[in-house]
Structure formats: structure tokens, C-alpha cells
Amino acid sequence: MGIGDAMTRRAVFLDRDGVINRVVVQNGRPYPPAGWAELEIIAGVPEALAQLKSAGYLLLVVTNQPDVGRGKTPAAVVEAIHNHLRSVLPLDGIYVCTHGGGADVCDCRKPRPGMLLAGRDDFGLDMASSFMVGDRWRDIDAGAAAGCRTIMIDYGYDEKAPDHTPDYVCGSLTEAAEKILTF
């Protein structure tokens, strides 16, 4: 890859739970599936990802999985979910933060941009031409901190709003992909 190529490589960073797969909502808050057997890919996601891939975007999942660090979910369960997602979706990479503490524990836990910046460095991405798609405030704030355009899939969770206003608000990854493909 030449110097010019690195400046034009672009990605769509995707939160996992709520963007790619269904979440379990309890008391207005989203929770990940407890295991591979509960994993349900949201309708339209494979097609939306295929369209983005065909348009030349790299597809990178960036996901907080704090229950691993808290000892509630074995790392093997998260890896099994990711292995399945890799086998059925055209993903180029999956970045995971398993730290269980607050946001100050590490640089990778969203809303910090560490996972996105790792993707930038690994793939030589132009962040201004890339997007972060998420369903929670942490995703939008991480994308903004990394210099991406941000798209919020708004499910109306009972939690704080992002500190940064999303560039776009959509109802699904299908809608988000349609918006991205206009660029």
C-alpha cells in the first residue's frame, strides 16, 4: 500500500450489541446476550454490511464487554460469539475492551477512543472519512473523540445522552448504511 492509499482507507466502526445483534432491555437499559445460544443478528444487518463492504469500507466491531473483567461472563463466551459473527458477517476486525471498571481504567473502554485508534493504526485509516455507528452515548462520544462521523441508532434507552451530538440519527443499521453510502 502506498502513502496515498493510507489516506483514503475508510472504515465503519460498529458497536456490537444493539447494532449487529439484539440486546436484552431491562429497566430501559440494554444488555448483551448471555451466550452464543442467545445471539440473534438483527434483521437487515448482513445485507447492510455487504453493501458497505462492496462500497469499499472496512468493517470493524468495537465493543465494551465489561462483564468479562467483572467475572460475570467468561472470555470464552465472548470469543465464541465473535467467532460466530466472523463466520457469518464480512467483518475485518473485532476490538474488545474487557475492563470491568469505570471509564478511567483504560484507554480502550468507550467513551474513550482507544479501540477506534487501534483500528486506525492497524489498517491505516482516514478517520475523517470513517464512521462510528452505535446505539449508546459511549459509542457516539468515542467516535467523536476519534475524529469519525457518528451515527446513533436510537432505541430510546433510559440513559444519558451523548456529550457530542451525533452527526446522524437512524432507526437501524440498514438506515445508517443508506446514509453512509451517500458519501
Q: Hey, which residues are catalytic here?
A: 15, 17
- The count of residues in the chain is 183
How far apart are alpha carbons 135 and 47 in whole angstroms?
19
Please provide residue 50's backbone torsions phi and psi, each rounded to the nearest 5 degrees.
Answer: -60, -40
Q: Where are the alpha helices (DSSP H) in 108-158?
A: 114-123, 137-146
Q: What type of residue sits at position 106?
A: C
Q: What type of residue sits at position 181?
A: L
How far apart are alpha carbons 14 and 140 in whole angstroms?
11
